[in-house]
Structure 1
Amino acid sequence: MASAPQNANLPLFYNDLVPLNSRDHATWKSHTTDKASWLVGQHAIPLTVEEFPQAQRNFPIVFSVGDQPVPLALMGLNEGVNVFVDDEGKFIENVYVPAYARRYPFLLAKLTPDAQELSLCFDPTSGLLGEDGDGAPLFDGETATETTQGMLKFCEQFEEAGMRTAAFVEELKKHELLIDGEVAIQQEGNDQPFVYRGFLMVDQNKLQNVRGDVLRGWNQSGFLPLLIAHLFSLELMRDVFGRQIQQGKMPQPQVAIPAA
């Protein structure tokens, strides 16, 4: 179920990356918009563990396949389907927006492979930054404005949350709790169910057999509530499925959606 960016060398959403600096972008502004066009057609958005309690109210939370699984909020069950935004990127209702999507078009990245520090970069193709039109200035002379400093802090916090998320996933892998997921949903009027695969989920049977001292440690560290949020969120698979039916975005029955 996991989407991949069009450019394999860039993260999801990003078509290009340019370092933000006062020399080249002294007169640039940040434009506001009520359309998250970068979410159109994106069905799986990365999550950090801090977001599980809020995200699990709206989306199923699963994990991508591969050696380094990543938590994902499913905004649709099929490639190219997001049931929470319209064709222009306007949210159909008030739902939680993952931090990964809110930081766009900014991103902390290394300017060179051997760089020791991360620099604030942005996607120049986003249309959200530029010299023309109204907006909040990014620089006051050579000094970053509060707008730029705020986004830098947000991106730094996201990177820190990403490290905590990686530690959480490593703990799941250590105890071999992640298994291949499969959901079969039977729609009235169809002989065959809709089958969804291509993601990982926590094995509830193995979780029940985890040693008591390990569970106590997870409870103290905050890991245990995250596991519960993930498992409860899986019930929303059918809710997202129902939204796809209402919006006429259903595939044929018996489809397997492999991870990218």
Structure 2
Amino acid sequence: MAELLFYREPTLLDRAGHAALRYTPSPDFGFSRDVNSVPLLAVEFFEASRSLPVLFADDAQDRRFPLALLSLANDHNAQLATDGRWTGGYTPAFVRRYPFALDGDKNVCFDRAATHFAGEGQPLFDGGVPSSTLQGVIGFLQEFDAEHARTREFCDALQAKDLFKPFVLQVITADKQTARLGGLSAIDETRLQQLDAATVDEWFRRGWLAWIYAHLHSLGALKRLGDQLDTRAAA
């Protein structure tokens, strides 16, 4: 998983060195303009599936992880307006957590180059301790990491049961050529129907079957991305 996909200057947040740092939330998601997919947590499948296709790809450890497809064009996010506002139906948590993240030791990091810290805003520290703003950020990041772990367990179980099948897409490159986007996977419905009863029962109780069907439902959103591509081409 590309943990720091958008971060140009990731920096460990330090209460002494950043005591005066102020943060301003922004509706501008322009930092994500040059990507056509982002990692997605399984708990997000339900909301995301209404407007975005949910597929799977290998992460940095060669293990499958879900992603939300944002465009059928290469290196382009079709969910953004020209001013950076998110116009898609759902904004993935991976995007919403920027410019903050947790490192491998669960320490808070931030992108020093982000415009969110350029002016007056909400203090991150109050008397040397995390402010209410920073506490809210930390809570969100901790929840994100917990759901990431649940998603990892879910994907590993799918892979162990050999439920993934290749899913190849055609995308449009910057020079208007058609290219095949490989390395993607979807859940194989035929193999899914052959699961033993004990596994089906366990996955139902854990909510995993609901996640699977939300993923399958999301594939219908590919037409929406195709329509967006046609609109841009006409413009």
TM-score by length of 1: 0.81
The equivalent of 1:223 in structure 2 is: 208
The equivalent of 1:81 in structure 2 is: 76
Q: Matches of 1:239 and 1:108 in 2, distance apart? A: 33
Q: Is the Cα contact below 8 Å between 2:64 and 2:159 reproduced in 1? A: no
Structure 1, unaligned runs of 5 or more: 111-116, 186-192, 251-260
Q: Is the Cα contact below 8 Å between 2:72 and 2:170 reproduced in 1? A: no
- Picking from 115, 129, 138, the partner of 2:117 is 129
Following superposition, the deviation at residue 26 of structure 1 comes to 1.3
SS of the equivalent of 1:128 reads helix
Q: Is the Cα contact below 8 Å between 1:22 and 1:141 reproduced in 2? A: no
Structure whose residues are more often helix by fraction: 2
- Picking from 187, 191, 199, the partner of 1:202 is 187
What is the identity, as a one-letter code, of the residue corresponding to 2:127?
A: G
The equivalent of 2:57 in structure 1 is: 64
Matches within 5 A, 1:1-260: 11-65=4-58, 67-92=62-87, 95-110=89-104, 117-130=105-118, 133-183=119-169, 196-248=181-233
Following superposition, the deviation at residue 79 of structure 1 comes to 2.1
Q: Matches of 2:55 and 2:206 in 1, distance apart? A: 21
Q: Matches of 2:39 and 2:219 in 1, distance apart? A: 16
Pick closer, same or farther for the CA change 1:249–1:35 going to 2, 3 Å. farther
SS of the equivalent of 2:80 reads coil
Q: Matches of 1:215 and 1:163 in 2, distance apart? A: 21
Q: Residue by residue, what CA displacement relative to the aligned partner does 1:168-197 show, whole Å, maximum 9, x if unpaired? A: 001100100011112479xxxxxxx98653
Q: Is the Cα contact below 8 Å between 2:12 and 2:108 reproduced in 1? A: yes
Q: Matches of 1:68 and 1:249 in 2, distance apart? A: 39
The equivalent of 1:258 in structure 2 is: none
Pick closer, same or farther for the CA change 1:242–1:197 going to 2, 3 Å. farther
- Percent identity, please: 28
What is the identity, as a one-letter code, of the residue corresponding to 1:164?
A: R
Following superposition, the deviation at residue 239 of structure 1 comes to 1.2
Pick closer, same or farther for the CA change 1:19–1:194 going to 2, 3 Å. closer
Q: Residue by residue, what CA displacement relative to the aligned partner does 1:111-165 show, whole Å, maximum 9, x if unpaired? A: xxxxxx32101010112124xx331111112111000011011111111111000
Q: Residue by residue, what CA displacement relative to the aligned partner does 1:208-235 show, whole Å, maximum 9, x if unpaired? A: 1111221111111100000000001011
SS of the equivalent of 2:67 reads strand
Q: Matches of 1:96 and 1:216 in 2, distance apart? A: 30
SS of the equivalent of 1:58 reads coil
Q: Is the Cα contact below 8 Å between 1:40 and 1:86 reproduced in 2? A: no
SS of the equivalent of 2:109 reads strand
Structure 2, unaligned runs of 5 or more: 172-177
Pick closer, same or farther for the CA change 1:127–1:58 going to 2, 3 Å. same
Would you identify which runs of 4 or more consecutive aligned residues in structure 1 move more than 6 Å? Answer: none
Q: Residue by residue, what CA displacement relative to the aligned partner does 1:81-119 show, whole Å, maximum 9, x if unpaired? A: 2111023321235x2111111111111114xxxxxx321
